[in-house]
Amino acid sequence: MDLSRQYGLFVHGGFRAATSGAAFSVSNPATGEEVCTVAAAGVEDVSAAVAAGGDAWPEWWSRPAVERAGVLTAVAERITAERERLAWTETTDTGRVISETRMDVDAVADLFHYFAGVVRSDEDGLKRHDPQQMSMIVREPFGVVGAIVPWNFPFLISGWKLAPALAAGNAVVIKPATLTPLSLLTLAEITADLLPPGLLNVLPGSGRECGEAILDHPGIRKLSFTGSTEVGRHVAAKAAARVIPATMELGGKSANIVFPDADWDRAVEAAAMAIMMSQGQVCSAGSRLLLHDEIHDRFLSDLTDLVAGIRIGDPMDEQSRMGPLVSEEHCRSVEEYVSLGVSEGARVVTGGTRVSGFTAGAYLAPTILADVTPAMRVAQEEIFGPVLVTQRFSSDEEAVTIANASSYGLGGAVWTRDISRALAVAQAVRTGTMWVNDYHPVPSGSPFGGFGASGYGREVHRTSLDAYSQLKTIYVNLDREPYGWYRS
């Protein structure tokens, strides 16, 4: 597949150059080679995209729900038909192994199918209060939604926002990260004949210029952001200042809790998958492994053996299970955290160094830090790489206390055959998702979002429709007699 061309901004159903003529290059994390150049949106381009969305959404919203559902279904089918192209582009852009990016493409197609069903079944309500009065509850779109997505799962997270926003009747102006814009631009390209011009506008560009312009534009009536907690606070403040709603899916430092009666082999493998999938660049990764004293040493030994054998290689290789980190700069940040952990008293059990044999790409060995205490920075801060920190506990209460000793609350898991213990712990941990004897699945129809510093709002569920629409109540008085309030 050939990406060796300049991508424009996608506005009003077609590609165009940035008003300023600015562009930036996109590189393959696995090879370091430049893949293509992409136009860089500025303030004027954001205004053009918002205007296009403002023109498009009223007609889109006026269509019957069954018609909008049909378009969403057609988008889902187009995504499935272009599965290999999209997965290849996502892997080229992010460095994630192609076996994972294929799963992302399938998940986004399923999500469009899901919201096609949701929008058909979501009917306005009619309520009769008494024989002379009734009210209608009507759901209306905001109009133009501004969305900003991160570099780690650009295609998947874009789907999480686009499907419900479009289903609710909105137009969308969406900004991908400058590191990974290609799969979203490809999605716009392959669905251009399905969506009305202006309904989907894709604006690659810097956060400082393009991102800020989206946050500040008065035509944007709803914001949806996924990214770091630091930037999320800024986005939330901007939304609050303008008194518009925002959905915020931010960072995480999730606890994966293993009890002595856990299914051993499955728990060991899941502990590795929870942090090493996508090179640990996952907001809900199980980055804190909490092991009961009775099993700590044996579990850590078996996990170390498994992790040390993970096949690291070309992300296009079907057999690879880990690829490079997204950039050299990010890899250096992760390495600094490993050094910090050691300085705090943690012990490197395995990894912590670059993988030899690669002439390009930031390949970092899967890393485990043991002897970690809750107060250490490596136990509190999001490293966002293939670095697992392990902690001990001796009771259910202590496990919950350690798990909750974090400002974040996005994911987590508990491993035990005791269903009463599993549910008690799952309810006690303050987090948006708790898996029981599993890690990572987020199927369509399961709300995903965070507590605390991990943000607010939920995605991937029918309640997402509420986040992209507003309710209006229309009261109807059927009584024709005068009120008699001022008449004697």
Residues involved in catalysis: 249, 283
What sign results for the dihedral spanned by CA atoms 433, 435, 438, 444? negative
Rounded to whole angstroms, how far apart are CA atoms 321 and 386?
12
Rounded to whole angstroms, how far apart are CA atoms 461 and 411?
16
Which residue's entry shows tokens 């990214």? 227
Are 417 and 263 in contact by the 8 Å Cβ rule? The answer is: yes
Rounded to whole angstroms, how far apart are CA atoms 280 and 378?
14
Determine how many CB atoms are found less than 10 A away from the CB of residue 482. Answer: 8
Rounded to whole angstroms, how far apart are CA atoms 294 and 395?
10
Which residue's entry shows tokens 């918002």? 50
Angle at 368 between CA 366 and CA 370, to 5 degrees: 175
Rounded to whole angstroms, how far apart are CA atoms 168 and 177?
25
Which residue type does 418 have?
D
* Burial bucket for residue 70 (CB in 10 Å: 0-12, 13-18, 19+): middle
Are 410 and 252 in contact by the 8 Å Cβ rule? The answer is: yes
Are 166 and 73 in contact by the 8 Å Cβ rule? The answer is: no
Helix H or strand E encompassing 401: helix 396-403
Which residue's entry shows tokens 């952990």? 341
- Beta-carbon contacts of 239 under 8 Å, excluding residues fewer than 6 positions away, are 215, 223, 245, 246
Tokens read off for 433? 């998702």
Which residue type does 206 have?
S
**What are the strands, taking DSSP E only, across 44-118?**
none
Tokens read off for 189? 């390209």
* Burial bucket for residue 354 (CB in 10 Å: 0-12, 13-18, 19+): middle
Helices 154-167 + 182-190 axis angle, to 10: 40
Are 460 and 111 in contact by the 8 Å Cβ rule? The answer is: yes
| Beta strands 469-477; 133-141: pairing state | antiparallel
Tokens read off for 409? 């609350």
- Beta-carbon contacts of 263 under 8 Å, excluding residues fewer than 6 positions away, are 415, 417, 437
**What are the contacts of 337-342 at 24+ separation with CB within 8 A?**
337/377, 337/378, 337/381, 337/383, 337/385, 337/387, 338/367, 338/369, 338/387, 340/377, 340/378, 341/369, 341/372, 341/376, 341/377, 341/378, 341/387, 341/389, 342/369
